[in-house]
Amino acid sequence: MTEPVSDSGALAPRYPVAPGSNFTTVPFGQTPSQTVGPYLHIGLPWPDGPDVVPAGTAGSVDISVTVLDGNRTPLADAMIETWQADASGRFDHADDPRGRRTPTPAGFRGFGRAVADATGTATVHTVKPGALPAENDMIEAPHIDVGIFARGVLERLVTRLYFPDETEANASDPVLSRLDARQAAKLVATATPTGYHLNVVLQDENPNGDETPFFEL
Amino acid sequence: MLPLPPNHSITVDPAGPYRDQTGVNAPRDFAEYRTTALRHPKQPLILLPQRLTEITGPVLGEGRVTAADADLTLVNGGEAQGQRIIVHGRVLDSDGKAVPDTLVEVWQANAGGRYRHAGDTWPAPLDPHFDGVGRVLTDSAGNYRFTTIKPGAYPWGNHHNAWRPAHIHFSLFGQAFTQRLVTQMYFPDDPMFFQDPIFNSAPEDARARMISAFDYEATQDNWALGFRFDIVLRGRNATPFEGDDHDD
């Protein structure tokens, strides 16, 4: 069906309607965050969402994240997103002060998106990122920023995933080294036969409990 | 041994460069929305200075969006039931700067308030000609536009006689990981606002920014009603943008 063309040339009348009490002129400002809700699966997954690198890329790994709530019940309706540097520690992005560069390996997207299964586990397929330069000649250890979305989460939760085979780099990382050892350890993934795994615990009343450190950006 | 990065020190602004305006987002623990109870951190968030991973972000869209993705009303060889509407607006940052070429993803219920989702069991019929998913890219001035039907309100189990106001889910990337936003667009004068804890979780002064405006200029004669929804991502200045030249 195509858009019909009006057969009337008459102009629409305009009546002076007084705005009621609900009439507002919205002041300009940042739009609030809202939950993705339970039906995010309609709009957000892509067939290649979990593929940060194309399937079959040499040296690729699976990174799985299990999301648990305050009762340690898995969030079967969660979604994770990941963002990371490429294997050589570069971003194909105008705001990388070193300049854009074609990513390595070929087809590297940097971004991953995966929905959780019944065990609250979401898995992306990627390569380990390179280390990154930071202020004062510090070096950020290889890491992946992880965003968590779910019903009941009004604003994305952000944490980081670090690698267990980078003990030396992790020790001098400007983010990890500012956490106490117990908190820092929660951000270091464990090795699996095909890659790495991280448990993310959304809530624990006990300050010395299991809750994953989350970041305010 | 990991390859050492080039000897190129960066500067870090501990409070930026991208900052939330104050009073924008909901408390993560919002008791009236019961599912937040076990899904919010109890410990304080840790300030993460924005370094390279945070000031960059995915550039998506190329090959991910087709023209057909901007029309949700034509599915499976037929037309969706319901009130046909055009939703359009601009994606800006809170400095008033347009966000060009950025992916906008939307999903929504059908005219009867039913989602095409195995988890949605409320007895309103599915529409064979409506899936409820759309994708568009903003143009060079940050404009986006899609055609859909007005979603219906629907009940949910949060409290007795709980109904979600009609809404369309929006997902936006901006240009940096820190600009990512997922929100919901509402319709003007919805009678269900008063009892909805999700809409009302946002601070009072910011709530109205989630309500689209009826737009007669965008309304097409003998075809569809127009609604305008401008979306403002975090910008580089925490102070609110003054002036009105963000509008066109």
Torsion of CA B211, B217, B220, B224, to 10 degrees: 10
Domain range annotation of chain B: 58-233
Q: Please tell me the distance from the alpha carbon of residue B73 to that of residue A190, in angstroms, as a whole number.
A: 46
Q: Please tell me the distance from the alpha carbon of residue A2 to that of residue B24, in angstroms, as a whole number.
A: 41
**CB neighbourhood size of A8 (10 A):** 8
Residue A25 has pLDDT above 80, yes or no: no
Are the C-beta atoms of A140 and A165 separated by less than 8 Å?
Answer: no
Residue A8 has pLDDT above 90, yes or no: no
- pTM of the entire predicted model: 0.93
Containing B206, the helix (H) or strand (E) segment is helix B204-207
Q: Which two tokens stand for residue A185?
A: 């350890």
Domain range annotation of chain A: 40-201
Residue B139's pLDDT is 96
Kindly report the CATH class assigned to A40-201.
mainly beta
Percent of chain A with pLDDT strictly greater than 70: 91
Provide the chain A residues 179-208 that lie in CB contact (below 8 A) with chain B.
Answer: 179, 202-205, 207
Residue B169 vs residues A145, B38, B224: alpha-carbon distances, Å: 24, 23, 20
Confidence tier at B130 by pLDDT (50, 70, 90)? very high
Residue B15 has pLDDT above 90, yes or no: no
Residues in chain A with CB shorter than 8 Å from the CB of B4 are 131, 139
Q: Please tell me the distance from the alpha carbon of residue B115 to that of residue B123, in angstroms, as a whole number.
A: 11
Reported as a single tens digit per residue, the pLDDT across B178-206 is 999 999 999 998 999 999 999 999 999 99
Mean pLDDT of chain A: 92
Q: Which two tokens stand for residue B68?
A: 């057909």
Find the farthest-apart pair of alpha carbons in chain A and give their distance in angstroms, rounded: 77
Residue B137 has pLDDT above 80, yes or no: yes
Which residue from A minimizes the CA distance to B171?
A44
Provide the chain A residues 137-166 that lie in CB contact (below 8 A) with chain B.
Answer: 137, 139-140, 142-143, 145, 147, 149-158, 160, 166
Percent of chain B with pLDDT strictly greater than 70: 91
Confidence tier at A28 by pLDDT (50, 70, 90)? confident
Half-sphere exposure for A119 (CA within 13 Å, toward CB): 7
**CB neighbourhood size of B204 (10 A):** 8
Q: Please tell me the distance from the alpha carbon of residue A172 to that of residue A110, in angstroms, as a whole number.
A: 24
Q: Using the beta-carbon criterion (under 8 Å), do B52 and A28 form an inter-chain contact?
A: no
Q: Using the beta-carbon criterion (under 8 Å), do A211 and B244 form an inter-chain contact?
A: no
Residue B164's pLDDT is 97
Alpha helices in chain A (DSSP H): 167-171, 181-186
Are the C-beta atoms of A120 and A76 separated by less than 8 Å?
Answer: yes
Residue B244's pLDDT is 41
Fold of B58-233: Protocatechuate 3,4-Dioxygenase, subunit A (2.60.130)
Q: Please tell me the distance from the alpha carbon of residue B131 to that of residue B110, in angstroms, as a whole number.
A: 8
Reported as a single tens digit per residue, the pLDDT across B102-114 is 999 999 999 999 9
Reported as a single tens digit per residue, the pLDDT across B37-50 is 999 999 999 999 99
Is residue B164 among the annotated active site residues? yes
Q: Using the beta-carbon criterion (under 8 Å), do B47 and A215 form an inter-chain contact?
A: yes
Q: Does B37 touch chain A (CB under 8 A)?
A: yes
Q: Please tell me the distance from the alpha carbon of residue A41 to that of residue A51, in angstroms, as a whole number.
A: 17
Is residue B40 among the annotated active site residues? no
Nearest to A91 by CA among A80, A81, A100, A104: A100
Upstream peptide bond of B17 is cis (omega within 30 degrees of 0): yes
Residues 6+ apart with CB under 8 A from A91: A85, A100, A110, B52, B53, B56
Pairing of the two strands B231-233 and B84-93: parallel
Residue A11's pLDDT is 80
CA angle, residues A24, A27, A31, in degrees to nearest 5: 105
Are the C-beta atoms of B112 and B152 separated by less than 8 Å?
Answer: yes
Provide the chain B residues 75-134 that lie in CB contact (below 8 A) with chain A.
Answer: 79, 94, 96, 105-107, 109, 115-117, 119-120, 131-134
